[in-house]
Structure formats: structure tokens, C-alpha cells
Structure 1
């Protein structure tokens, strides 16, 4: 997921205010269409298949992915001259992922992460650039890795999957080209790229970002494999890898809430393409979605702790004022 994060202090346009809800509605429409075709049984089976061992495995994999993503963020923030502690980055990333999972649009957590970090340092614009760069770099590596893996598995056998992946890349490039037609957008992009070029200037930074992104993608794919095992899917490593890649890529789309809808649709298509059946894909994707939500529960605790601290700050200030 890559999203333009608004700077603090600017008025939010009405269209921008409704965009998250429009994206959520699109994802929910996909989910409703799947339910209309298959019924609720595959979803209920996926929920019922979640077990304690699967939850433990998902939590460990989520911790690895979060730590790697936080490392990626710290590297790029540091290159842009921003202080970011290790514990602070991990906690903020857990909070960000949780908010992205439960709120519409899939980017609210990243917006909050950028603004909170920026306000702490009084450098919101630079902190925003760091988050945009970090998320964009992660998505680029994820897409490139998916193409490489699918190609290694065998282009002839999985040509449809390769076509979808390349098509997705083509859509991204086309949208970027359309945006560049506007002189204002072109000047803004050139300016931002000039600023962000410094973040990726060194080979060490690029290698660190790629390594962290590979860890994140691998952890997500393995979590989907855990979900498949929990639901009793029996498949070859090639079939499992392709299905997992399709579901993980779809989960990163800023549609729906927490990836629900696009993920199940992509899993149904991928499982059907490799001969495992669309229903099995929906069941596995549902289990994956539930496991991810549970694994990100630390983010909910961090959000709750932050809200409690904010409630107590005025009270403490009032006490000091009266003494």
C-alpha cells in the first residue's frame, strides 16, 4: 500500500474525507458478492478452524514482520534526519497496523503514525515523507518479489498469475503517467523525489530496505500457510506459494476494511487456478484474516494505553494549576 498522507494543518477536502469510506465500500461490495455466490459456510469454516497453535504461530510471525517493518522505517527516517527510537518505532508500527486493520481505507494507521512522529519532532512534513517512502518501498519490493517467485515456479504453468501481477504493475505505472499529465502534480512529484532521493542514496540503505521488506513478505506468506494448514488444505509447495502470494498482495490493496473482500476474492481465484477449489481459498483467506487480527492485538493495547494517557494529561495539568 502506498498512500499520500496529508500534512497536518491543511484543510481536508470533502472528496478526500470520503475516499476512505468509498474504498471501504468497494471492498465490502466484493465481500458481499462472494457471500452471494458461495454463502456463509466457507467463511464460518475459516473462523472455526482457528486454533491456539495457529494463533501462536501467527503472533510470532506478526512480531517478526512488525520488527522488520519498524527497522525499515527507522532506516529511512534516519536518512531524512529524523530521530526514531527502536521501542517507539515498534510500538507505533503495531498501532498503525491495528488501525489499518479495523478502520476503513487501510491507511489511517499510517497517517496517524506519520503525524504523531512528526508532531513529536515538530517536523510533520519530513515524517510524512519517511512513512510514504517506507510504505512505497515495501510495496515495490513485495510486487517485485512476487513476480520473481512466480517466474521461478514456472511461467508456463502459472501464466495467468504472472499476467495478473504484471497487469497490476502496469496499472500502477499507468496511473502514475496519468497523474504526471498535470503540471502541478508533475512539479510536486519532482520536488518530493528530489527530497526522497537522499533517503535511498547509499547502497547500504537500499539493501537494508530490501532485506526488511523480504522479511515482512515472507512472514505474511508463512502466516497464510499457517492458515491453510489450520483449514486442512493439502497442496504442493508451488500451489501453496502461488495462493499465498495472491492473497497477501490483495490484502495490501487499500480497499475494504482490513483487506476483507479483495483478499478472499484473490484467494478464491488463485486456489481455483491451481486446482484447489475456490471454496478452499475463501476458507483459508478467512482464517488468515482472523489470525492477522488476533496477531495485531498488541496494537489495540497500545492504542488503549495512548488514549488513557491523553485522558489523564489534562487532569494532571489541572491539579498542578490548583496547587
Structure 2
């Protein structure tokens, strides 16, 4: 099957899933919830969503420069929001935008492996922190989750805290693993050199701070969109919910995360008493934040200016 057909199929599957979720949640109730949205909270959520992606671009710039690339602050913002435009318009969730960022750095004369790894590590570090925050949120929400799942809350909290601690420690295993594994030198060589630098620990700490800021801002944006619909949950509940919602939205099986994000929102927010229609509405508002930013980024695709070598 040609790649274009596969992309079309992924897009249709995502839209079909969105239609199914809307049908099960009752479209009339979803529309009613969205009509009652308070514009002020929606606007606050949009500002926070934009701030989250500005922070994401700055995180990527810091990583690219650490790997030996040259990326100005303005170009990092421009390329990042252009990539969001591709993500919003093309099937494949975040994959298309990530490929675009790496390609543009290579076209600007940057080292091919450094360009590729800057995008890969940038994405992985975001997912790493997202899962860590989700685990912490699950531990703090253990009582509610335990009652819904019929599992001892103490056991849930213990497992989540233990797992989250181990998860956060994973980056420190990278240097010894790369030292022992000598294969794929062309791909792993630049990463192995970077991992042996004396400032590796400082860079991991910087990535953790940037990634935490990105996820907190994103969670706040989602919470503000939900608050516009009258959904008020604790920070711990949102810390838990963003992991499945954002992870599902990032799967390369839809256009802009539509469908997968809404399905995850229904499941993640149900333990906290959020009705399916309200959960779908909140997820759709967050999707509109991404669509707005993606459209703005897409408008700059034809503008001149590239990262300078």
C-alpha cells in the first residue's frame, strides 16, 4: 500500500473514531456543552497552550545547540509552529512535524545525525516527563482510582511512586548502555559522544525542567478549557489525566489527534465523575487550541528565513 493511501487511511480512521465517540457521548449534549463554554476561560487556555509550545520550541533549541547545531531563538519558534501546522493538517499526529523539523535543520547545513537526534530526544524527553507526571498524578489520585477499579489505593500509590521514581532515573542509564553497545556507529555515534560529555547531567536536568514546564502549561490549558464547560478538577486529577489524553493524541493514527484524544478524555476523566459529553467537549476545545496554532504556523510555511549554519 502506497504511503499516501496509508496516510489517508489513518486520517479516515481518526475521523471515524471521533464520529463514534461523539455518537456514544450524544452529539446534542456535546454541542450543548460547547455552546455554554465561557469565552474568558477558553481564551486563558489558548494563551497557556501557546506558552506551552513556545517553551517546547525553546527546549528543542537548547537541545539542538547542545548537540552542536546552530538554531536561533526566532527560527526555533518559526520551525516549531510550522511543524505544528503540518501536524494539524496531515495524518500521522506529531510524526510529520518532527520529520519536517529535522529536515529543515539538515537543509540549513546542520549535521544530519545531530538534526535527527535533536528532534528524537526532544520528543522522547517530553513523553518521559509526561509519563512521570501521569504516574505522580495517579499516586495522588489513588483513592479515587482505587474505588473505581476495585484496587487497594495504597497498592496503587506504592506502585505508581515506585514506577515513577524508576522512570525518572532512566536517562542516567544512557551513558553506560551506549558505552557497552558498539553497534550502529553511524546513528549512535553522535549520541554516544554527547552522553560522555561532562555537562551531560546538567543537560538532562535542563531537559527535565523544560519538559516539566511544557507539560504543566499544557495541563493548565486543558484544565482551563474544561473549566469553561464547568468541569473543575484537582491538579492531581489533571496530572493523571494528561498522560493518556496526550499520549493517545500523539499516536500516528489520526489527523491532529482528533478522535484518539477525545476517546482518551472520556476514559481518563470518567473516574472523576466527568460525563462523556463534557469530557469530549473539553478535549475538543484543547484540539481547537492546537488547530489554531497549527493554522498560524501553516501560514508561515512560505515565508523566507531558515536556520543559519
Which of these residues, 163, 182, 190, is aligned with residue 195 of structure 1?
190
1:138 to 2:126 alignment: yes
1:112 to 2:110 alignment: no
Distance 1:18 1:141, change over 3 A: farther
Distance 1:187 1:231, change over 3 A: same
Q: Which segment drifts farther, 124-133 or 281-290? A: 124-133
Cα offset for 1:101? Answer: 1.8
Task: Give the count of matched residue pairs.
Answer: 275
Partner residue of 1:32?
A: 19
Cα offset for 1:208? Answer: 0.9
Q: Give unmatched runs, 5+ long, in structure 1.
A: 1-13, 171-185, 311-323
Cα offset for 1:108? Answer: 1.2
Which of these residues, 25, 28, 35, is aligned with residue 41 of structure 1?
28
Partner residue of 1:208?
A: 206
SS at match of 2:108: helix
Q: For 1:235 and 1:81, how far apart are their aligned partners in 2?
A: 43
Deviations along 1:163-212, one digit per CA (max 9) or x if unpaired, are 9x98xxx9xxxxxxxxxxxxxxx954x75344323445511110111111
Cα offset for 1:231? Answer: 1.0
Partner residue of 1:269?
A: 267
Partner residue of 1:76?
A: 63
Q: For 1:38 and 1:187, how far apart are their aligned partners in 2?
A: 50
Partner residue of 2:245?
A: 247
Which of these residues, 144, 164, 181, is aligned with residue 157 of structure 1?
144
SS at match of 1:131: helix
Q: For 2:215 and 2:110, how far apart are their aligned partners in 1?
A: 32
Q: Give unmatched runs, 5+ long, in structure 2.
A: 168-181
Deviations along 1:225-284, one digit per CA (max 9) or x if unpaired, are 111111112444444443344323322222211111111111111222222222221121
Tell which has more relative contact order, 1 or 2 (C-alpha 8 A, sep 6+): 2
Partner residue of 1:101?
A: 88
Partner residue of 1:3?
A: none
Moved over 6 A (4+): none
Instruction: Give the structure-2-normalised TM-score.
Output: 0.76
Partner residue of 1:290?
A: 288
